[in-house]
Amino acid sequence: MTATAHRPTSITPLLIPLLVGGLVAIALGVFGRVHTPTGFAVGPAGFSAALPMKVWLTTGAFVLAAVQVITAMSMWGRLGVSIPPAVHRWSGRLAFLLTIPVAFHCLYALGLQYDVPRVLAHSLLGCFFYGLFTTKMLVLPKRGTPGWTLPVIGGLAFTALVCLWITSSFWFFTTIGFKV
């Protein structure tokens, strides 16, 4: 049977991954809100301060997320050129790893902030992104999911990361400049 011969229409296999992803997003938001921010979390090794570190790591994740979209399109036969699936897997792994110190610093040092609309949007998008990422990782090994599952969840994760980049790195570059 080919991959396109039978597309299940049931979303039942998605319920647990969606529930767990939603719980991750909510747990991060609750932790970020109730945790007393320390003001410091991660040493900015190689950077002048924590903010430039976060900006450049997020920019790296943003670039790798674009690689994710291109390689996913190749894997789904949308480009007419074949890119090895390993490029997709490794660009995703590296993008995720780049977000870890950023998220840790944001949650531990700053918490979920709501006094500035841009920062509130950024905080909520961060929680949403990690919820989507969790959902995507739980859906990957599942068989019997609708054909639109990975493109939609992956597209939402990409969109969330782009919006995170806009509300952080783009803001930094246009307001403060290109500091390292």
CB-facing half-sphere around the CA of 123: CA atoms within 13 A: 23
The pLDDT of residue 47: 86
Q: H or E stretch including 173?
A: helix 171-175
| pLDDT tens, residue by residue, 101-111 | 999 999 998 98
Mean pLDDT, range 41-46, rounded to an integer = 75
Say if residue 30's pLDDT is above 50. Answer: yes
The pLDDT of residue 13: 87
In a 3-state reduction of DSSP, which class is residue 169? helix
The pLDDT of residue 99: 95
Greater confidence, 94 or 37?
94
The pLDDT of residue 6: 55
Within 8 A by CB and 6+ apart from 172, the residues are 51, 52, 55
The pLDDT of residue 97: 95
131, 86 contact by CB (below 8 A): no
| pLDDT tens, residue by residue, 125-176 | 999 999 999 999 999 878 888 889 999 999 999 999 999 999 999 999 999 9
33, 126 contact by CB (below 8 A): no
Give this prediction's pTM: 0.88
Report DSSP letters for 40-102, one per residue. Answer: --S--TTSSSHHHHHHHHHHHHHHHHHHHHHHHHHHTT-SSS---HHHHHHHHHHHHHHHHHH
Say if residue 1's pLDDT is above 50. Answer: no
